[in-house]
Structure 1
Amino acid sequence: MTQYNQQLYVFEDARPVPAVIRSYTEADFDELIVIQSETFPPPYPPEQWWNKEQLHEHVSRFPEGALCIEVDGVLAGSVTSLIVDFDPAKPAHSWADTTDHGYIRTHKPDGNTLYVADICVRPRFRKLGLGKWLLQSLYHVTVEKKLDRLLGGGRMPGYHRYAGQMSAEAYLDAVVRGEIKDPVITFLLRCGRTPLGVAENYLEDEESCNYGALMEWRNPFKS
């Protein structure tokens, strides 16, 4: 297994800052859990942050999909993925079932799709574009593994404000048309992801009314 390591610069205002995207290891576990607590503060339940058992599964089952980013030597965020079999004709699924509640014991090395289990960036680093860099690293993994696509279910945190006026599908369409700006879905569009539809009961999330927007990035080297 080849360790992922990408050197780059990110920009803090106009100042270039050295950064590296790399595979995370057991030595990073404590800090990764701290990052989860900063990224998902209360009222987000702490039991839904990564725990060491989950992180151990990530680095042992699919280390190529367990990546973190350091900025000037400080761990600033991470992204975790697994390989699944996805049938576009039957898109409905939940995050918990697909990721085995984050333990990724559902990882299928012979599957066709790289699936995003989680992405998080420390709040103080969010103006540096790290989330986009982390997703781009998964595009590299998708191509290297010759998979059909990168797929994930995005939260729709703005939907609760419109739920009485439109369906989740109509909300997603409005975001894609630029009529509504959603902090997660708009970000994913900027990262090159395109919508496949909406999954009901995707995750427990009041802001999204438990919906998830299924967003993919197709491998451009596969028909």
Structure 2
Amino acid sequence: MFRQSLYVILDGKPRLVTLRNYTIEDTEALIDIQRDCFPPPFPSELWWNAEQIANHARIFPEGALCAEMEGVLIGSMTALIIQTDAYEKHLPWDKATDNGYIRTHHPDGDTLYVVDISVRPDYRKCGIGKVMMQAMYAVVVHLGLKRLLGGARMPGYGRAAAQYSIEQYVEGIMEGKWHDPVVSFLLRCGRTPVAIVPDYLEDEESRNNGLLMEWRNPFITNCRR
């Protein structure tokens, strides 16, 4: 099981953060994080519920991580393992994750698939999301998997959708013309774009599009495209 303590800088002061696996005892706090992170117009029915969280902790506890500061949960990240064929099909979020219940988890797969990453807004500028992502990279290496894969929301696209296609929007991000809160963050975390997936997730800001982005295990070089 995973446990790591490290310092982040919040309001100019070092603050100790503990990364650990979450359990069903954290259910209420995890749902509160979702509520804080995804206000309307994001659909409230896509917030975690108690059954989903119980599944995460039971089916694949290694992929259930949270960040805790001074006894308060401030972020969470969830993942499951998928098989190569699912990776190559570029499935939408609901198909890849079983609508967040992760009954699609395959212990014999080779790809760690990110179901969700959430950080409370008041803590987003101190690097919590990045250290949780790095913790999941450590899980990839520890389990001997080939890659981490996940779909990025593109909330900045809503402002550009009237003038640009989603392909043009992604190209603009990669050319440095635009900054997207999610895609640009994942690029800084070392993720690489793989494919645009229409109807990836019900998300008005992204016009339901998702951008699959991966991180490859540097100790395994025979990954397939």
Specify the code of the residue in structure 1 equivalent to 2:142: E
Q: Structure 2: any 5+ residue segments left out of the alignment? A: none
Deviation of the 1:89 alpha carbon:
8.2
Deviation of the 1:174 alpha carbon:
1.2
Residue 210 of structure 2 corresponds to residue 220 of structure 1: no
> The residue matched to 2:163 in structure 1 has which SS?
coil
Deviation of the 1:204 alpha carbon:
0.9
Change (3 A) 1:89 1:184: closer
2:120 counterpart residue number: 122
Residue 109 of structure 2 corresponds to residue 132 of structure 1: no
Alpha-carbon RMSD across the aligned residues, in angstroms, is 1.4
> The residue matched to 1:97 in structure 2 has which SS?
helix
- TM-score under structure 1 length normalisation: 0.95
> The residue matched to 2:88 in structure 1 has which SS?
coil
Aligned with 2:18 (options 17, 20, 26): 20
Give deviations 1:105-134, integer Å, cap 9, x for gaps. 000000110000001011111121101111
Change (3 A) 1:188 1:105: same
Specify the code of the residue in structure 1 equivalent to 2:58: S
Specify the code of the residue in structure 2 equivalent to 1:26: I
Deviation of the 1:177 alpha carbon:
1.5
- TM-score under structure 2 length normalisation: 0.94
Aligned with 2:59 (options 58, 61, 64): 61
The number of equivalent residue pairs is 221
Contact 1:21 1:70 in 2 (8 A): yes
2:164 counterpart residue number: 166
> The residue matched to 1:90 in structure 2 has which SS?
helix
Q: Structure 1: any 5+ residue segments left out of the alignment? A: none
Change (3 A) 1:163 1:43: closer
Counterparts of 2:161 and 2:43, CA distance in 1: 24
